[in-house]
């Protein structure tokens, strides 16, 4: 008989840096998921990704307190900010796009870089081909205030 699914949980954790401190520990603990096992499994699976990259993870947890996880690729905005060379600012030490997208330009990327990002994110995007994926990435660039140069 198949395991009975209790629910799903979506988190965004930095690659290779999962630990039981907030926000990961409390989110998993209140659902009865083994926190240390998740941290070990996540860090092992994300070891080949760039350290510190934000990785969305979907955790499905079952009645017998076991779980399975699916790692996604980092958000398009993270790839775009990295390609544009935007530096981290503020208390949280995150790169920011434009405060006024469409009016102010925070940085620029090339069409080649957009294609590379689209190819990297292809499995997580709702697109049939790379050109369609590039259109999705171009929309993300526009909303971040990042200009795309031909």
**What average pLDDT does range 40-49 have in this prediction?**
90
C-beta neighbour count of 82 within 10 angstroms = 16
Q: pLDDT tens digits for 84-116?
A: 887 766 556 666 766 777 777 778 889 999 999
| Closest C-alpha to 62, from 106, 110, 3, 11 | 3
Helix, strand, coil shares of the chain, percent, nearest 5, are 35, 25, 40
Going by C-beta distance under 8 Å and a sequence separation of 6 or more, which residues neighbour residue 138? 114, 148
Q: pLDDT tens digits for 120-140?
A: 988 888 888 999 999 999 998
What domains, with CATH codes, occur in the chain? 5-71 (3.30.1550.10), 76-149 (1.10.10.250)
């Amino acid at each position: 008989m198949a395991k009975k699914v209790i629910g799903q949980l979506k988190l965004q954790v930095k690659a290779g840096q999962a630990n039981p401190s907030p926000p990961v520990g409390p989110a998993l603990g209140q659902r009865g998921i083994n926190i240390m096992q998740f941290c070990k499994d996540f860090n092992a699976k994300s070891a080949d990704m760039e350290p510190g990259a934000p990785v969305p993870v979907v955790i499905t947890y079952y009645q017998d307190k076991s779980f399975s996880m699916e790692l996604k690729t980092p958000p398009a905005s993270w790839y775009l900010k990295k390609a544009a060379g935007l530096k981290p600012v503020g208390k949280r030490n995150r790169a920011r796009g434009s405060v006024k997208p469409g009016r102010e330009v925070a940085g620029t990327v090339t069409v080649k870089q957009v294609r590379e990002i689209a190819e990297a994110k292809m499995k997580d995007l709702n697109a049939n081909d790379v050109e369609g994926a590039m259109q999705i990435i171009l929309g993300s660039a526009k909303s971040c205030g990042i200009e795309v140069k031909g």
